Chains A and B, each alone.
Chain A
Amino acid sequence: MNIRTGLWTLGVALAASIATAQAGAPTPKRGGTLTYLIPADAPPSFDGHRETTFATVHTVAPYYSVLIRVPPDDPSSTTEFVCDLCTEMPKPTDGGKTYTFKIRPDVKWHDGSKLTAQDVATSWNMIVFPPKGVTSARVSYYSMVDKIEAPDDSTVVFHLKYATTAFLPALADPFTWIYKKEILDKDPHWYEKNIMGSGPFKFVSYEVGQSIKGVRNPDYYHKGQPYLDAIEGIFTPKQSVRTDALRADRAAIEFRGLPPSARDQLEKELGDKITVQDSDWNCGNVLTPNQRHKPFDDVRVRRALALAIDQWHGAPALAKIATVRTVGGIVFPGSPLAATKEELQQIAGYWPDIEKSRAEAKRLLKEAGAEGLKFELLNRNVDQPYKFVGTWVIGEWKKIGLNVEQKVVPTGPWFQNMRAGTFDVAMEANCQSVVNPVLDTGKYLPGKIFPDNYGGYDDQTSIDLYNKMQYETDPKKQRADMRAYEKHTLDEMAHEIVLPYWYRIVLARSYVKGWKISPSHYLNQDLSNIWLDK
């Protein structure tokens, strides 16, 4: 075979492979109504700026646009962000302190008027600098922002106080919907009870605690989308109802996540009529010893609590029954700033040899005079995965002679006990949306810096290590700084014990196409890329 023949053969093979690949990716079909399940009673309000619950996102996100977002077709990426309302992702200027966004000229509100940069800047000012009487739940995410302005109708400029890698991920927060300036100027609370956005679907009706309905926005600016004619979200707080509804095709998908038992049951009963997408979840349970209570002020006792838990063997076993799976440190395992397995294994609670680890735990308890310690684990009255994980942890502690009772309480008393410091050890949750390691790990700072750290400790070294990491913009150096902060938090001081990360299992009828799972149930919920293959 000569060179020409070889090249020709290669060309044909390449063309064939491209054609095959294209043929393998089916063309989205237009039409149909997607019925999906919202595993909540009802959102407290429709205002994303104000609320923190997924119930608001799953109910209302399809009706709104955002400035930037995680890529809808690759939402599991922890580093990539794309424009929604902007025309292209900007390169920061002024030493990383200024971001200038150009706004698309072809965006219309659902009332037919034109969306401009003034709407975007006003919405963002409401989020970052809420006026008196307006609640914004995420003000603390934007402490780096100095000023937001719209010099003309197509430009929005964010001026930062300092350059930080935390800014873009924070800007892609899925709750940061763009509202109409004219409405906000008249009544900043209007969006709590009303819906009027520029997203892929137009709001039709809402039956409180029952359902929400929307129809396709024909003027949507991402041309060709959305593919669906209509959407209907049905509120179904009970898991058994959701499983049965998927089984009987009363609904096509549930976006938050179901436990492994539901997956196993539906896979067995429905075979290829159901599809499963799963992912590590940027949420995890964290054990917080209360250092205001003796003997938890003793680092030896805290380290013993960590050393007793066999994360490497426990996580895969738990994954069979609970929505947890991957062992990780303070940073979400999929992120470039996360610790590798080898790095984790240097930290108390992650040692590969559990017998050695438990022997050390017993030695530390003896040395601290805390053998056979009896205490209470404060836990939240939520099955998945809180109570499963709590029960597992108590079993692990029993293996070093600790006698622990689980106190399970509803959400209100759970928060109240932690805020008041009336607990021994608390099972907390650290649940975030966009993977933003710098902000996500602020949770482990002492209470005087991060008010809802409930450990009751002060630690200047921790603050210094965090600040060094926070202001570092070189990825390699920042990673090293993160390791130092992590080692100090989990190993040297054992302020917190990070348990296996949650695992998200999303079940859908197999005719639902286009939607991709992400590491958070808050992300990728505008439903614009979903289509029905039936």
Chain B
Amino acid sequence: MHRYIVKRLLLAIPTLVGAAALVFVLMRLIPGDVCVVRLGAGGTHVDPASVAACHRQLGLDNPWIVQFLDFLWSYCTFDFGISMWSGNPVVQEIGTRLPVSLQIAVMATVIAVLLAIPLGTISALKEGTWLDHVVRVVSIAGIATPSFWLGIMSLILVLNVTSLATGTPWLPPIDYVPPWKDFWRNLSIVALPAITVGYRYSAVTMRITRSAMLEVLREDYIRTARAKGLIEKIIINRHALKNALLPVVTLIGIEFAFLIGGLVITEQVFNLNGIGRLLVQAVQNQDNVLAQALVMLVVAIFIFTNLVVDVLYAWLDPRIRFS
């Protein structure tokens, strides 16, 4: 297993270099640059001399190849650079936002798993019954509903319900506070986004759990287990669900990695200062250094999550471990 993990980590290096080259080129294909955006942000005029000075200061007047080699070398030395927009270290910029995104991603994943696996399993076990239909309607609705729309609707609902009930509309706080500073205030801020994202996430997972369970329940070894007289609870938990979880684990891993950097609109709707919003800002501001770092972070999270998923595979299915 150790050799397998080391091999996978070594294979991650070309993936990271490839991603670095891709994001480097793509960022520079966008017309304009951070100096022009920054100096003209107010809609006032852009002084060409100031733009030229800014280019020199940020090294944007160097040839692309020099900039790319600088970029690669600085990553080799774990120097992730300075944001071209704010002048703050990239580590600081990301460090401020990562806890927000991480908290939402973890909470949404917990909600999704707690909803999806029991409901998906029940739906498969009660195939064709009213319970199955209800679960399918809930899951299809979740897939069809964008989480940001659900977020907007939930905020409007909260405002209107509290307005009707108390005469004063209420809204969760809009300035994020970490849980270790004020747990209840933090919970009131993150609960709605976690639920709205978690619902969509659970809907997809529910569908996969149901179909995987249906497939497994038709397998010969389940029939054999029943023929041996094993009680249904053991058949479901020990033999069916564990095997059905293989595709579900993959999905949870991919979704979790996506949530770290992909909650762009949800973060905006709930005024959360997360990684997704930062990535959009970085691209809009043409802050190449920050955008590159964020893409590399997301790539690294995907690589790590896939590795964890593969290790879990081996735990769930001994055949993979032995091969």
Residues from chain B with a CB closer than 8 A to the CB of A432 are 44
**A151: interface (CB < 8 Å):** no
Contact yes or no, B36 A412, CB < 8 A: yes
A193 sits at the interface (CB 8 A):
yes
Least CB distance from A428 to B in Å reads 8
Determine whether A207 belongs to the interface, using a CB cutoff of 8 Å to chain B. Answer: yes
Are the CB atoms of A250 and B45 closer together than 8 Å?
Answer: no
Interfacial residues of chain B within 25-81, with CB under 8 A of chain A in the complex = 30-34, 36-50, 53-54, 57
Residue of B nearest to A54 (CB): B42
B218 CB, nearest partner CB in chain A, Å: 48
Which residue of chain B has its CB nearest to the CB of A244? Answer: B171
| Chain B window 246-282, contacts with chain A (Cβ cutoff 8 Å), 1 for yes, 0 for no | 0000000000000000000000111101000110010
Least Cβ distance of A320 to chain B in Å? Answer: 23
- Partner among A51, A135, A245, A420 whose Cβ is within 8 Å of the Cβ of B53: A135
Determine if A140 is an interface residue (Cβ-Cβ < 8 Å): yes
Q: Is the CB of B268 within 8 A of A238?
A: yes
The winner among A192, A193, A413 for most chain B CB atoms within 10 A is A413
The answer to whether B88 has its CB under 8 Å from any CB of chain A is: yes
List the B side residues contacting A133 at CB < 8 Å: 53, 57
Whether A451 and B47, one on each chain, are in contact in the complex, defined by CB atoms closer than 8 angstroms, is yes
Inter-subunit contact A210/B31 (CB<8 Å): no
| CB–CB B269/A240 < 8 A | yes
Q: Which residues of B165-195 are within 8 A (CB) of A?
A: 168-171, 173-176
> When chains A and B are docked, how far (Å) is the Cα of A210 from the Cα of B47?
30
**Interface membership of A165, Cβ < 8 A:** no
- Decide: A452 near B278, CB < 8 A? Known: A238-B268, A240-B152, A241-B271: no
A208 located at the interface, meaning its Cβ lies under 8 Å from any Cβ of chain B in the complex: yes
Interface pair B170/A207, CB less than 8 Å apart: no
* Per-position 1/0 for A242-256, Cβ under 8 A of B: 001101111100000
Give the chain B neighbours of A241 by CB distance below 8 A: 174, 268-271
Cβ contact within 8 Å between B44 and A431: yes
The stretch among A40-48, A214-222, A490-498 that forms the contact with chain B is A40-48
- Bound Cα distance A419, B47 (Å): 11
Closest residue of chain B to A381 (Cβ to Cβ) is B284
Chain B's nearest CB lies how many Å from the CB of A506? Answer: 18
Contact (Cβ within 8 A) A238 B269: yes
B86 within 8 A of A: yes
Most buried by A among B163, B174, B176: B174
- Nearest CB on B from A242, distance (A): 9
Q: Are A412 and B32 CB-contacts (below 8 A) given A41-B281, A192-B87, A208-B88?
A: yes
Contacts A412-B33, A415-B46 known; A208 to B86 CB distance under 8 Å?
A: yes
Q: With an 8 A cutoff between CB atoms, is A414 at the interface?
A: yes
Contact B286 A250 (CB under 8 A): no
B: number of interface residues (CB 8 Å):
54
Chain A CB within 10 Å, residue with most, of B96, B268, B271:
B271
Please, how many angstroms separate the alpha-carbon atoms of A108 and B284 in the complex?
40
User: A193 to B53, alpha carbons, bound, how many Å?
Assistant: 19
Q: Nearest chain-A residue to B84 (Cβ)?
A: A44
A6 at the A/B interface (Cβ < 8 Å)?
no
Let me know if B39 and A209 touch, CB within 8 A: no
The answer to the question of B136 belonging to the interface, with a C-beta cut-off of 8 Å to chain A, is no
Closest Cβ of chain A: how far from B29's Cβ, in Å? 10
B269 to chain A, nearest CB (A): 7
Min C-beta distance of A396 to chain B, whole Å: 23
Hey, which chain A residues are within 8 Å of B285, CB to CB?
44, 412
Q: What are the residues of chain B within 8 A of A139 when measuring CB–CB? A: 47, 49-50
The answer to the question of A416 belonging to the interface, with a C-beta cut-off of 8 Å to chain B, is yes
A53 at the interface (CB under 8 A from B): yes
Q: Could you tell me the distance in whole angstroms from the C-beta of A450 to the nearest C-beta in chain B?
A: 7
In the complex, whether A122 has a CB less than 8 A from a CB of chain B is no
A171 at the interface (CB under 8 A from B): no
Q: Which residues of A contact B86 (CB under 8 A)?
A: 42, 44-45, 208
Decide: A452 and B159 in contact? CB cutoff 8 A: no
Question: In this assembly, does A404 line the interface, its C-beta being within 8 Å of a C-beta of chain B?
Answer: no
Let me know if B302 is at the binding interface, CB within 8 A: no
Instruction: Answer whether residue A234 sits at the interface, using C-beta atoms and an 8 A cutoff.
Output: yes
B155 near A244 with CB under 8 A, answer: yes
A211 and B175 in contact, given A248-B159, A411-B37, A412-B37 (Cβ under 8 angstroms) = yes
Q: Kindly supply a per-residue 1/0 record for chain A positions 6-49, scoring 1 wherever the CB is within 8 Å of any chain B CB and 0 otherwise.
A: 00000000000000000000000000000000000110110000
Any chain A CB within 8 A of the CB of B97?
Answer: yes
Interface residues of A in 224-247 (CB under 8 A from B): 232, 234-238, 240-241, 244-245, 247
Chain A min CB distance to B82 (Å) = 11
Decide if A52 touches B42 in the complex (CB within 8 Å).
yes
| Alpha-carbon distance between A245 and B163 when the two chains are bound, in angstroms | 14
Contacts from B to A (Cβ < 8 Å): 30-34, 36-50, 53-54, 57, 85-88, 92-93, 96-97, 152, 155, 159, 163, 168-171, 173-176, 268-271, 273, 277-278, 281, 284-286
**9 sample A-B contacts, Cβ–Cβ < 8 Å, listed by A number:** A51-B38, A234-B175, A245-B174, A414-B32, A415-B37, A416-B33, A431-B43, A431-B44, A522-B42
Known: A136-B50, A208-B273. 20 other contacts (CB 8 A): A44-B38, A44-B285, A51-B41, A52-B39, A52-B40, A139-B50, A207-B96, A208-B93, A209-B96, A209-B277, A209-B278, A234-B174, A248-B169, A250-B174, A269-B163, A411-B41, A412-B284, A415-B40, A415-B46, A451-B45
Instruction: State the 3 A-B residue pairs at the shortest beta-carbon distance, nearest first.
Output: A412-B32, A431-B43, A248-B171
